[in-house]
Structure 1
Amino acid sequence: MPTPAPKSKSKSTGSSNVSKSTHVSKPKTRVPLAVHEQKKRLFKTLVAQIDGGHNLNAIKTCDKILRLAPSDPDALQTKLFLLLSTDQPAAAITLIESLNEEGANAFERAYALYCLNKRDEARDALPQTSAEVDERGARHLEAQLDYREGAYQAAFDIYNDLLDSAPTAEEQADILTNIQAASSHLDFINTTFLHSLDALPTHLQTQLEDAPPPALPSSAPAVQVAAEPVKAALPKEKKVRLPKGVVLGVTPPPDPERWLKKSERSNLGQKR
């Protein structure tokens, strides 16, 4: 009986030979938000920054909004307010001039000029603010200009009018402080200063009354007066200290050859 042929052992292809398919994740395409949605988010951030007192960051947020909508009135007005609040009057004037709107933001322009110590230009801009909404702010600024220029009575009257017209306004504390400052100057000029003059001796009062008014400061450069040449100090004569027992003009001078040996002296062999 023939023996059956041995079965061939088939090699197992194990899991190592099975090709694994790697999964490649496709990058998610992010759909950009619409402009109005971006503005909505930025305005929400802007409100939070202003409420938290982060005004410098709020200015940057305004710039982001203006990059999306350069003529957005709310962003422009908010940025102008923030520039004035953060003591940047020059940047505020630049922003106002970039709008090219004649007569717009006149009060803000006058206030920025006042902060730059350009009082004449600020006063020239004030009459244009009479028809503006913030007429109260213009009156307050006018009083500040009067105070800076020494017109304390005019400033005092304006502050009192502002206080009487709105006694519960937010700036009431500031107005009361300004009234007190103007009143102190008026009291000094009208009372303290005059009493001090009356207390002076009669001859001093006469000198003050007869004295000419002070000269106005000249714009011409001051001429430097040449200083007189200082005479050179002569050198002091050096005093010679004489030995003890020596009288000048009486004691004979010492022998100039006293340092030589006796055999080398010129008077060797001479009789004494």
Structure 2
Amino acid sequence: MPPKSLAKKPTQASKAGVKQRQKSAPKQPLPVADRLKRLFTSLCAQIDGGHFANAIKTCDKILRLDPNDSDALQTKLFLLLQTDQYAAALAMTEAPAGLPSSEDARDGESHLFEKTYSLYRLHREEDATRVLESMKAESEEAGEEVDRGVLHLEAQLAYRQGSYQAAFDLYHQLLDTAEPNSEEHSDILTNLDAAQKHLDFLTSGFLHALDALPSSVSSTLQTAPPPQQQQQQAASVSALASASAAPAETQKPKKVRMKRVPKGVVPGVTPPPDPERWLKKSERTSFAQGNRRRKGGGGATQGAMEPAGTGAKSSGGGKGKKKK
């Protein structure tokens, strides 16, 4: 019979070469469209889950791939407002390139409301009022109704600036067109009640407060000089001192729980433990005091030694003496 042909077995060197080729082969990067699709999918999941900080980071990743993506820019602006980052939101609206405008916006000014709201939250009421007036003027020129969000913001600005009558009128206007049993309706009623209370106090409330004062005080209000600041500070300091001293007198002693007291310790009789028991002996105050005593005693004995001359004479005088 002819000998069988032996099949060559792969050597270890050939196996290592195949593995090295497989490892060294670089992965093909995903196309930009697929990467954007994955990022938008994770962005929606993060927003639905309420993870706004991670969602902002995802928006930044999208904008690195496509800086002019209107959806990512609008979403990032919304997330910045939701996370109270009003300075960053204002910087986005005031960027030189600006944000891309939506289809229904005019002249590319589609984010003026976000800009006004950021100014309002940053307590820049004058700038917010100026931008708000320009928005209302544009709506009137175009023959359109002013947006409800603009009216809400105008009412809040008026309330903060002390124009309670203007805020009251705006909230009445919004209440007439709001849907009953809605969250907006309840918010408007709350704000309307606050504005009404301020108006009542300004019109008649302070008069009732004056009538409640004694006649000796109310008769001298018109001619009395303004109070001095030093007297007010002294009175406040004395009031604080008396208030802090009063609880100390009436404070009841706390009851000691015997379960927490160690064995052999009688509360109020056994002396408390040394507060420095956890420190090293070299770091305790008693250790330093002991060293001072030792140094002081040694110095006294050394200072009492006689000079060298006197010692030599005394020793010399004793040479002739014989010991008995």
Q: Which category of TM-score, normalised to the shorter sequence, fits these structures?
A: 0.5 to 0.7
Using the size of structure 2 for normalisation, the TM-score is 0.54
- Unpaired runs of at least 5, structure 1: 1-17, 215-272
List per-residue Cα deviations over 1:203-240 (Å, max 9, x = no partner): 644433456999xxxxxxxxxxxxxxxxxxxxxxxxxx
Which one has the bigger helix percentage? 2
Alpha-carbon deviation of 1:136? Answer: 1.4
CA distance in 2, matches of 1:172, 1:158: 13
Distance 1:134 1:69 in 2: 34
Larger radius of gyration: 1
- Kindly indicate whether structure 1 or structure 2 has the higher relative contact order, using CA contacts under 8 Å at least 6 residues apart: 1
Matches of 1:38 and 1:147, distance apart in 2:
47
Question: Aligned-residue CA RMSD in angstroms?
Answer: 3.0
Q: Could you tell me which residue of structure 1 aligns to residue 188 of structure 2?
A: 175
- 1:107 aligned partner: 113
Equivalent of 1:145, from 157, 172, 181? 157
Secondary structure, counterpart of 2:149 in structure 1: helix
Q: Share of identical aligned residues, percent?
A: 53
SS in 2 for 1:198: helix
Deviation at 1:65, TM superposition (A): 0.7
Q: Does residue 1:20 correspond to 2:7, yes or no?
A: no
For residue 192 of structure 1, report the CA deviation from its aligned partner.
2.7
User: Which string of whole-angstrom CA distances, capped at 9 and with x for unpartnered residues, describes residues 65-84 of structure 1?
Assistant: 10111011111111111111
Of residues 171, 175, 184 in structure 1, which corresponds to 2:197? 184
Q: Which residue number corresponds to residue 79 of structure 2?
A: 82
1:58 alignment partner, one of 32, 38, 55: 55
Distance 1:37 1:170 in 2: 40
- TM-score calculated relative to the size of structure 1: 0.64
Cα gap change, 1:19 to 1:182, in 2 (>3 Å): closer
1:90 and 1:193 mapped to 2: Cα distance?
39
Asked if 1:197 is matched to 2:197, the reply is no
Structure 1 residues 118 and 79: CA distance shift in structure 2, 3 A: same
Letter in 2 for 1:159: Y
Per the alignment, residue 249 of structure 1 pairs with none
Change in Cα spacing, 1:119 to 1:158, as seen in structure 2 (3 Å) is same
Aligned-partner Cα distance in 2 for 1:194–1:89: 41
The number of aligned residues is: 200
Cα 1:39–1:173 change in 2 (3 A) is farther
Q: What residue identity is the alignment partner of 1:20?
A: T
Once the two structures are superposed, residues 120-149 of structure 1 have per-residue CA deviations (whole angstroms, 9 ceiling, x without a partner) of 111111023234798211111111111111
Q: How far apart are the structure 2 equivalents of 1:186 and 1:155?
A: 10
Distance 1:170 1:201 in 2: 45
The amino acid across from 2:109 in the alignment is G
